[in-house]
Amino acid sequence: MLKSYMPVMGPALMAAAALFVAADAADATGQASAAMMNANGESVGSVTLRATPHGTLLHAKLENLPPGAHAFHIHAAGVCEPPFTSSGGHFNPDGKKHGFDSAEGMHAGDMPNIHVPDSGTLEIEVLNTLLKLDATLFDADGAAIVIHDGPDDYVSDPAGAAGPRIACGVITQ
């Protein structure tokens, strides 16, 4: 008689196995998206994310945004409840300081400001060389894309002094 033995996994081993499976799933798709909403629950566009050999390419099609410069970041939690503070701080898996101009920075979620014309409509592509569509991004609490009311100053830690959050979208596969 043949017997099959299934090893018993403790909680830590089960969690590690789940992360391994999640990493494989994220790497297999190589794509994600975020439906962007304002604080009134109205759509302000979408962002698609695509893995490349050099980082993640974000393609944003945005509308109905106030004209001017706005900070554009990846945030650490995939929760978008107005006023969008529920999305937490910037996505920062390596524990860096904030900002392009910081010698100790930058966060993986730091990206260039967007500049919305008077029409309120903008289509852009941004290559984020530090962002990977992997299990770190798609962990238990997920991640979100956030647009702030003002521009990022690229140095103030922890968030660039960009002001209130005006739009948010949970990143999904």
Q: What tens digit of pLDDT does each residue of 37-63 get? A: 999 999 999 999 999 999 999 999 999
> For the chain, what percent of residues have pLDDT higher than 70?
83
Res 75 pLDDT > 80: yes
CA distance 151 to 20: 37
Q: 3-class DSSP state for residue 156? A: coil
| Cβ-proximal residues to 121 (8 Å cutoff; 6+ apart), any chain | 62, 63, 64, 65
d(CA 141, CA 99): 24
Mean model confidence pLDDT for the chain: 85
What does the pLDDT read at residue 157?
A: 77
Which pLDDT does position 156 carry in this prediction? 82
Kind plus residue range of the DSSP H or E element containing 86: none
* pLDDT at residue 29 in the model: 58
The per-residue pLDDT for range 11-37, each reduced to its tens digit, is 333 333 333 333 333 444 599 999 999
Above 60 in pLDDT, residue 151? yes
Span 82-134, pLDDT tens digits? 999 999 999 989 888 888 888 887 898 999 999 999 999 999 999 999 999 99
Tokens of 26: 């994220």
DSSP string, 96-135: PBS-TT-TTB--TT--PPEEE-TTS-EEEEEEETT---ST
Q: What is the pLDDT of residue 105?
A: 78
pTM for the structure as a whole: 0.81
Average pLDDT of the segment spanning 60-73 = 97
Residue 122 near residue 62 (C-beta atoms within 8 A): yes
